[in-house]
């Protein structure tokens, strides 16, 4: 057996090759999953690589190939849903042989500056989570490098889209409440933008499909707890209250439920509430929120597949993938009193 690499030095392909008694080229083929070496050789190489602690030197590989194999991700760290999505993106990127570099929108970095940082860092492609840019700006960005927009419907020609069927998610919520016997079902809308528009459209269409067009009611809301609380105050000021409410997202639902409960309006005894996103807090026993779940793993996989097709397989045509959501029924919905 050959001695391990000297302490403090990174284990190289040469070290693994010497340990197994094969050429560095053979080790490279095995670790890259390329056909050629025998099954027995593959097993010996993988075992030696694991034992020696070999890790691919991506920086050196990128320098040799003039590729960074790095994908930039635009994220709003205050958005819990996007944070969960990033965890799944890390797994999908690792399987595809890419690294992620995050840049966040914050008080000191608007979306434009956050994207500039990713471009300056030699990212080969971008994943934009719920971007606010115009169709024109996204088209311009997509003409310079591969871009996948996640979570927003956009028709910018060079840009791929991976999103949840938001309208179908809200529709499932309406049908669930209608099946329970609710008629006055209100929708607490989100911040102005394409996602909120699509969810509102899904609500209005589903209400018509359920024969409840005369009861359509949209309440101004937003994407935070304080927005939900304000929506609750608006509802309580009205002479006739809806018996059920579907909010733009879970955070809005949390604020809504808190305000209703403080006012002595029990959930679901006096008002049923449904959120959107199935955030980790929604499943807590104290909240137990009925909500629409988005499949973050499927969204992440489809986003990375789109980028790999462009970067490694040469695809140039635009691609849009729509992932189905599903309703998670918990304790904040019940038949009307």
The domain spans of the chain are 13-56, 68-164+296-323, 166-293
Q: Which CATH number does the domain 68-164+296-323 belong to among 3.40.50.150, 3.40.50.2300, 3.40.50.300, 3.30.70.20?
A: 3.40.50.2300
- Give all strands of the β-sheet with 326-328 in edge-to-edge order: 217-219, 185-188, 244-247, 272-277, 290-293, 326-328
Asked whether the predicted pLDDT for residue 13 surpasses 50, the reply is yes
Do the two domains 68-164+296-323 and 166-293 of this chain adopt the same fold?
yes
Q: What is the pLDDT of residue 276?
A: 98
Indicate the pLDDT class of residue 11, thresholds 50, 70 and 90: confident
Asked whether the predicted pLDDT for residue 63 surpasses 60, the reply is no
Longest dimension (CA), the chain: 84
Q: Is the CATH number of domain 166-293 3.20.20.10?
A: no
Q: What is the pLDDT of residue 126?
A: 97
- For the question of whether the overall pTM of this predicted structure is more than 0.85, the answer is no
How many percent of the chain have pLDDT more than 90?
A: 67
Indicate the pLDDT class of residue 59, thresholds 50, 70 and 90: low
User: How many whole angstroms from its chain centre is CA 132?
Assistant: 15
Phi–psi pair at 293, nearest 5 degrees: -95, 135
pLDDT (tens digit per residue) in 70-117: 999 999 988 889 999 999 999 999 999 899 999 998 877 788 889 999
pLDDT (tens digit per residue) in 171-201: 999 999 999 999 999 999 999 999 999 999 9
Asked whether the predicted pLDDT for residue 311 surpasses 70, the reply is yes
């Amino acid at each position: 057996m050959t001695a391990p690499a000297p302490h403090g030095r990174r284990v190289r392909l040469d070290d693994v090759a010497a340990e197994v008694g094969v050429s560095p080229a053979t080790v490279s083929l095995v670790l890259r999953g390329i056909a050629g070496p025998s099954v027995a050789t593959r097993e010996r190489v993988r075992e030696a690589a694991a034992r020696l602690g070999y890790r691919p030197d991506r920086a050196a590989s990128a320098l040799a190939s003039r590729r960074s194999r790095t994908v930039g991700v635009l994220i709003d760290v205050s958005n819990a849903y996007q944070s969960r999505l990033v965890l799944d993106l890390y797994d999908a990127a690792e399987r595809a042989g890419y690294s992620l570099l995050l840049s966040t929108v914050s008080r000191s970095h608007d979306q434009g500056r956050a994207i500039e940082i990713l471009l300056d860092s030699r990212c080969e492609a971008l994943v934009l989570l719920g971007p606010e840019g115009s169709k024109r700006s996204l088209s311009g960005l997509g003409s310079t490098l591969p871009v996948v927009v996640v979570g927003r419907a956009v028709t910018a020609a060079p840009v791929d889209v991976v999103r949840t069927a938001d309208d179908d998610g809200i529709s499932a919520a309406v049908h669930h409440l209608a099946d329970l016997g609710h008629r006055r079902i209100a929708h607490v809308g989100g911040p102005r933008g394409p996602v909120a528009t699509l969810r509102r459209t899904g609500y209005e269409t589903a209400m018509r499909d359920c024969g409840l067009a005369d009861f359509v009611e949209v309440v101004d809301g937003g994407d935070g707890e304080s927005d939900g609380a304000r929506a609750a105050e608006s509802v309580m000021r009205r002479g006739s209250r809806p018996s059920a409410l579907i909010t733009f997202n879970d955070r809005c639902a949390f604020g809504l439920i808190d305000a209703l409960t403080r006012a002595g309006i029990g959930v679901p005894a006096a008002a049923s509430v449904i959120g959107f996103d199935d955030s980790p807090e929604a499943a807590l026993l104290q909240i137990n929120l009925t909500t629409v779940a988005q499949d973050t793993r499927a969204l992440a996989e489809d986003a990375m597949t789109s980028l790999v097709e462009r970067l490694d397989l040469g695809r140039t045509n635009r691609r849009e993938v729509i992932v189905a959501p599903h309703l998670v029924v918990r304790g904040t919905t019940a038949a009307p009193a």
